[in-house]
Amino acid sequence: MSSARMVNLFSTGAKKKKEVTVDDSQATRPQGNTPAVPAVRKGVSSGKQVTPKEMDELPQLRDYPAAKREALFDQKLELCSYVFNFEDATSMKKEKEVKRQTLLELVDYVNTSAGQKIFTEPSMPAIMNCVRANICRSLPPQTEDYDPEEDEPVLEPSWPHLQVVYEFFLRFVVSSEVNAKVAKKYVDANFCYRLIELFDSEDPRERDYLKTILHRIYGKFMSHRSFIRKTISNVFYRFVYETERHNGVGELLEILGSIINGFAIPLKREHLQFLQCALIPLHIPKCVTLYHQQLSYCVIQFVEKDPDTAVPILNGLIRYWPWSSSAKQVLVMNELEEILELLGHEPLLLVRNALFELIRKCLSSEHFQVTERTLFLWNNDQLINHGCLSKQHAPTLLPIIYTALVEKSEKHWNATVEGLATNVLKVYQDFDMKTYNACKERAEEDAAMKIEIEATTQARWEQIHALASKMQA
């Protein structure tokens, strides 16, 4: 559509012509019982070309006869399906503002028309055409050096229009007059796929609207639920194993947290596979700190639903433990503690050795924050009294971690770490003095053996040095 044509369609500054009326006799009437829709030129994104109707300004919906208001409503939707170029902020300012005001009028009309049916089936094609034309677009490519943790996001230039379209569509999705069985023909799987793809937008305002809308669609359209879950899984697969770049992982996980909360017991095989293949590997990417809070919530939801899921989750955490980043280790340790609080006795026995070895390595960490956070586990009454750190497991745990605790309690430069390690040793002295003494004796024997080995090694080096000196002489 040419700029000159759009000036005629959207102009409000021009001299006002006689008010345009919507006459059914001039409408394009499809076959069947569907009400007539006035003929106007749709936006470029609509993909259709119909006979244009001359107009400079459409009348306000409130001022129009109720019997013909539906046709005018559709006409305004079709007008708003024209998408402007916002890359040039100076072009077609007047037309852009008219479209924005028209969109605002549509939202206001929906909000204030109590008792009047607006989202009827005949209007759904025009509604979805307008929504698709405005929001279903290709996102701009990300810059290679973009760092989501430090760089400011690039905001969507068309947000003045986009925000109102999202607001209008949200009203459509949550409306009680929209029957899901009817609307699913228009809010179809392809549209849901496009919606999920938009979560990669850098604009956090858009992702927030998408999160709310997709969640509402999931709740309303039961036939789309499986498809939405699988599509989100595919987004995670691509993110973890290919790109490691996606702006909307946190928002998608927020939706999933609510979805998981509604899972029925026993969990379906599909849900367990999603946990194993999609959620647990999300601990791998370097940018896990950006969405770890939401990820941890989803994981805990699984354990609360089915305690048996704690075993594959713990095995996954141990396998993907972020040894190269102390900050991430502290984060994941928080998650680990929550899981251990929910861990039953039998599942613990399946992962006990690997878990205790992980705790030992974290206690031996060169970074004091990792050691400190690990020692804080013993401040958890649930773990001390009934969990993996309790008296019951002391004969297995203490021999593994004793040496690390002694080193931190005697030689560490940080007073907090030294004090915490000393307190943990006292706890096990009270729990199981026999095991404690056995560990102490073994540690002393190991220390004596180490000294003997070092002395032997030193003597051999001295012999080699003496022999080399003799040969040179």
Query: pLDDT tens-digit profile of 39-64?
Result: 333 333 333 333 223 234 677 877 78
Q: Is the pLDDT of residue 24 over 50?
A: no
| pLDDT for the residue 293 | 96
CA distance 220 to 98: 33
Domain boundary among the residues 166, 187, 208 is at 187
pLDDT tens track for 62-103: 778 777 888 888 888 988 988 888 888 778 888 888 889 999
Do the beta carbons of residue 63 and residue 86 sit within 8 Å? Answer: no
Phi, psi of 37 (to 5 degrees): -120, 130
Structure tokens at 207: 């992702």
Q: What is the largest CA-CA distance in the chain?
A: 120
pLDDT score of 151:
78
**pLDDT, position 26:** 33
User: Looking at the domain assignment, is residue 117 inside a domain?
Assistant: yes
Is there a domain that residue 158 lies in? yes
- Kindly state the percentage of the chain with pLDDT values over 90: 61
Q: Decide if pLDDT at 176 tops 70.
A: yes
Could you tell me the pTM of the whole model? 0.81
**Residue 28: strand, helix, or coil:** strand
Please tell me the total count of domains within the chain. 2
Q: Does 26 fall in a domain?
A: no
Q: Is residue 19 part of a domain?
A: no
Could you read off the pLDDT of 365-405 as tens digits, one per residue? 999 999 999 999 999 999 999 999 999 999 999 999 999 99
- Asked, for residue 367, whether it belongs to a domain, the answer is yes
Residue 133 falls inside a structural domain = yes
Q: Which long-range contacts (CB under 8 A, 24 or more apart) does 159-164 make?
A: 159/203, 159/205, 159/206, 160/96, 160/100, 161/84, 161/96, 161/99, 161/100, 161/103, 161/134, 162/134, 162/135, 162/206, 163/205, 163/209, 164/100, 164/103, 164/104, 164/106, 164/107
Q: Which residues neighbour 267 within 8 Å (Cβ) at sequence distance 6 or greater?
A: 302, 305, 306, 309
273, part of any domain = no
Summarize the confidence of residues 12-33 as an average pLDDT: 35
- CA pair distance 391, 385, nearest whole angstrom: 7
Beta bridge partners of 28: 37
Does any domain span residue 172?
Answer: yes
pLDDT of residue 115: 63
Q: What is the pLDDT of residue 114?
A: 65
Which residues span the domain enclosing 368? 343-472
Residue 301 pLDDT: 95
